[in-house]
Amino acid sequence: MGSEVIDSSKKKPVDRQAEEDKQKSVASLIQSAMDRFDESASSYSSIRAKSLDDIKFSHNDDNYQWPQVIWQERIKWKRPCLVINQIPKFVRSVTNETRQNRPGIEVHPVDSGADVDTAEVIAGLIRHIEYDSDASIAYDNASDFQVRGGFGYFRILADYSNPLSFEQDLKIKRIKNPFSVYYDPDAQEPDYSDARYCIIVEDMSVEKYKSKYPNSKLAGLSSFSATGNAEQWATKDNIRTAEYFYFETEDKEIYQLTDGTVVDKKPQDETLIANSRMTQAKKLKWCKLNAIEILEETDLPIPYIPVIPVIGEECDIDGKRMIKGMVRDAQDPQKQYNFMASAQTETIALAPKSPFVAAEGQIENYEGIWKTANTENHSVLPYKPVSLEGHPVPAPRRESTEPAVQAITQARRESAEDLKSVTGIYDASLGARSNETSGKAIRARQAEGDTQNYHYGDNLRRSIRACGRILVAWIPYIYDTARTIRILGEDMASKVVKINSGEGDFEEGQKRIYNVLQGKYDVTISNGPAFNTKREMAVDMYGELIQSVPELFKVAGDLLVGNMDLPGAPQLAKRLKKMMPPEIQAMENEGKGDVPPEIQQQMAQMAQMIEQMTQALNKANNELDSNHEDNQSKERIALLNSQTQLTIAYMKAESDESKAIFMAEMQSITSRLNRLNALEDQQTQAEMAAQQNPVDMASGSMSQNGNGDMASGASSAASNIP
């Protein structure tokens, strides 16, 4: 009893100490996150400010394309401030190109534990993840910010398949606001794969925060003055939360054994050690925090931060990073275009309002009429004749001047050309008619614009490849049990397969086992048009070839029709394929084992039957060659021929109805052959009996038939089998 009291008395200080240590660790982690946030915000402040300016300019947010001082002055004097925003069409010319030709993630095995079939399943699973999570939205959002402001982001998440499931799936989601992401400024790789940390902040109202985290410490505070030096993280109106990705490193020794295996634990038998060295092991951690506490935390079993940047143009100037998009250089030509459009409108609008020149006293008593001469239609403009030194003064006249409309229009055209020049996108790429007449020339001109801005699409492909690497690294930890998943092919055709299961799947007549937990895989990106675009291009090219060489339709018509996006095209292609020459069909079926085992067994039995029937047919033909020609042998040959042809037709038939018809005919022929064989056996037995006792047999024959022709009667009966 005494020891228990002592132990219990000593237990409280130990618990208190542990709690204090935990609080210090949490406070240190939060402080580290805030310091890194300040570091990133300070390093990227200039980039972020200019990027925000570009985005506002491209959307003309609140008349952003006019300097505010000039805009207010022109509005005061009621002068036009037109905005003919040309920026969006140039942006869409680049972003829509990536939408039409989306990069595809391809997976390849890189070690002995991996295989090609499993790599295809992983690639199909990634396509399913992209489809299921609407990854195109994430890619398009990041690409749009990339072209407008110079950078955008998307991310990868792990979430439960549904609210009632314990299985998780990976998702690719957009980051709606790229300015909420703060990356390590010391990252050197273009995809930031070497970054030490990344922070995603979210500012929400106090009411929203308390609704989302009602049990948090911060939600229970009546005042946020206790949050220390993090005033911007908790105010009376808003509370900031942050997702904090960071790496913890650990120095450890690794060992290479004599068989080439690398382990991180020292073996007991030191003679097995061939080499050793020290290395740094990194572990990725994630937590969600506010100014005073950690709300959630977990470890991520992947080597990269799952927040992927999409960068526009990037360069280093005197050690200072510069990032920009297409809009930066297009701002001045766009401003000039707006100014010239406004000047042109203003000049033309004021041209018919030229002032009148009148001598003093000429409009006396008619001032009201003359003041409205430029705004109202008067049938008569009266005036008083006035003389000067005895000479009459001419009637009032309009002082007409030639406005510089032509010069302004030319300047406006030049500013439009400047926009094309700085963006690298010309008329052909924008869909306008030009001097090119042939399709080849038009495509060549369009390719010039694509080449000028190829780096945007190439940087997006680089980011999607980084996404693929993260998915390949994460899949074994999320899909780590035996389960059935859906995968998508390149043509988006879906298929259900079993993974991590010893049962496997039967495909192409073989048992296939896909284990995503073993082996190492790498990722590449497929360049060029997407599958649907390739299919449309194939239809055009096949059509041109078949138009030039019509005979090709007989051997490639199914390919042309199969790629058409028309109702019933797959069925028509299937019918055309059946009409192909036998040698073409043989080439198509060569090496394919797509028949289930039970059907293969049935086909083997059918083949054996055909072989037996062929032997019987050869025997019957030999009998004819041996001068045993009679009606019975001819009929047997005809029946065997029919049976062989029906068996072959049955093997080729696909519909159950056709197979039933062929089977009924074969049964009829088999029945006739059996009856024919029975009569032949009776005839053979009679002949053998006659040879053994010719006298009795002859008398029996005479007594039975009256003419001694029993054999001919049997032959005649056999020839009349129905």
- Pairwise CA distance, residues 165 & 169, whole Å: 10
What is the rounded CA–CA span in Å between residue 284 and residue 215? 27
Q: How far is CA 695 from CA 681, 703, 715, in A?
A: 22, 12, 22
φ/ψ of 241, rounded to 5, equals: -115, 160
- Give the residue with greater pLDDT, 108 vs 623: 108
pLDDT of residue 1: 41
Look at residue 698 and tell me whether its pLDDT is greater than 50. no
pLDDT at 162: 84
pLDDT at residue 36 is higher than 70: yes
- Residue 3's pLDDT is 43
pLDDT reading at 330 higher than 90: yes
Structure tokens at 24: 């210090």
Q: What is the pLDDT of residue 109?
A: 93
pLDDT tier for residue 144 given thresholds of 50, 70 and 90:
very high
Q: Which two tokens stand for residue 591?
A: 């090496």
CB count in 10 Å sphere of residue 712: 11
- Does residue 152 or residue 374 have the better pLDDT? 152
What secondary structure does DSSP assign to 273-299, as a single string? EEEEEEEEEEEEEEEEE-SS-EEEEEE
Q: Which of 109-123, 252-266, 422-436, 463-477 ranks highest by mean pLDDT?
A: 463-477
- Give me the residues paired with residue 488 across strands: 494
pLDDT band of 113, cuts 50, 70, 90: confident
User: What is the Cα–Cα distance from 30 to 401, expressed in whole angstroms?
Assistant: 72
Nearest to 29 by CA among 235, 217, 248, 240: 248
Percent of the chain surpassing pLDDT 90: 35
Of residues 364 and 429, more confidence is placed in 364
**Token pair 């300070």 in the structure block, residue:** 42
Q: With bands split at pLDDT 50, 70 and 90, how would you rate the model's confidence at 179? A: very high
Q: How many residues does the chain have?
A: 722
How sure is the predictor about 702, in pLDDT bands with cuts at 50, 70 and 90?
A: very low
Six-digit token string for 135? 């990854």
Which one has a higher pLDDT value, 23 or 48?
48
Confidence (pLDDT) at 440 = 56
pLDDT surpasses 50 at 134: yes
Contact 293, 216 (CB under 8 A): yes
pLDDT value of residue 706 = 41
Q: Of 297-301, 470-474, 672-676, which range is least confident? A: 672-676
> Of residues 230 and 392, which shows the higher confidence score?
392
Going by pLDDT thresholds of 50, 70 and 90, the confidence category of residue 716 is very low
Predicted pLDDT at 178: 96
Measured in Å, how far apart are the chain's first and last C-alpha atoms? 109
> How do beta strands 494-499 and 483-488 pair?
antiparallel
Q: Look at residue 616 and tell me whether its pLDDT is greater than 70.
A: no
Q: What is the mean pLDDT of the segment spanning 275-287?
A: 92
Task: Identify the three-state secondary structure at position 678.
Answer: helix
Instruction: Read off φ and ψ for residue 325, nearest 5 degrees.
Output: -115, -160
pLDDT of residue 683: 73
Q: What is the pLDDT of residue 22?
A: 87
Question: How confident is residue 679, by pLDDT bands cut at 50, 70 and 90?
Answer: confident
- What pLDDT, on a 0 to 100 scale, did the predictor assign at position 449? 58
Q: What's 428's DSSP letter?
A: G
Instruction: Report d(CA 84, CA 81) in Å as an integer.
Output: 10
Q: What is the pLDDT of residue 629?
A: 47
Q: How confident is the model at residue 580 (pLDDT cuts 50, 70, 90)?
A: confident
Digit-coded pLDDT (tens) for 89-98:
999 999 988 8
187, two tokens: 């990252």
Q: Which pLDDT belongs to residue 631?
A: 58
Are the beta carbons of 645 and 689 closer than 8 angstroms?
no
| Model confidence at 119: pLDDT above 50 | yes
| SS3 category, 79 | coil
Residue scoring higher pLDDT (244 or 319): 244
- pLDDT given for residue 722 in this prediction: 34
The mean-pLDDT minimum among 53-57, 475-479, 707-711 falls in: 707-711
Question: Is residue 240 over pLDDT 60?
Answer: yes
For residue 611, the model assigns a pLDDT of: 61
Pick the most confident of 552-561, 590-599, 601-610, 694-703.
552-561
**pLDDT tens track for 489-512:** 887 888 889 998 876 666 655 667
Q: Is the pLDDT reported for residue 259 higher than 80? A: yes
Q: Quick check: 578 pLDDT over 90?
A: no
Q: Which residues pair with 197 in a beta bridge?
A: 246
Q: How far apart are CA 486 and CA 121, in angstroms?
A: 9
The upper half-sphere exposure of residue 245, i.e. CA atoms within 13 Å in the direction of its Cβ, equals 26
Pick the more confident residue, 128 or 11: 128
Per the CB < 8 A criterion, the answer to whether 453 and 470 are in contact is no
Q: What pLDDT is attached to residue 353?
A: 64
Those residues whose C-beta lies under 8 Å from the C-beta of residue 219, and which sit 6 or more positions away, are: 209, 210, 213
In eight-state DSSP terms, residue 429 is: G
On the question of pLDDT at 635 being above 90, the answer is no
More confident residue, 569 or 10: 569
| Contact between 266 and 255 (Cβ < 8 Å) | yes
The structure tokens listed for 278 are: 């020290």
| Dihedral sign (CA 596, 599, 605, 607) | negative
Residue 707 pLDDT: 42
**Mean pLDDT of all residues in 250-257:** 88
> pLDDT value at position 108?
94
User: In three state form, how does the secondary structure of 317-386 look?
Assistant: ECCEEEEECCHHHHHHHHHHHHHHHHHHHHHHHHHHHCCEECCCCCCCCCHHHHHCCCCCCCCCCCCCCC
Examine the pLDDT at 208 and tell me if it is beyond 90: yes
pLDDT band of residue 298 (cuts 50, 70, 90) is: very high
CA distance 509 to 532: 30
Torsion of CA 23, 27, 29, 31, to 10 degrees: 180
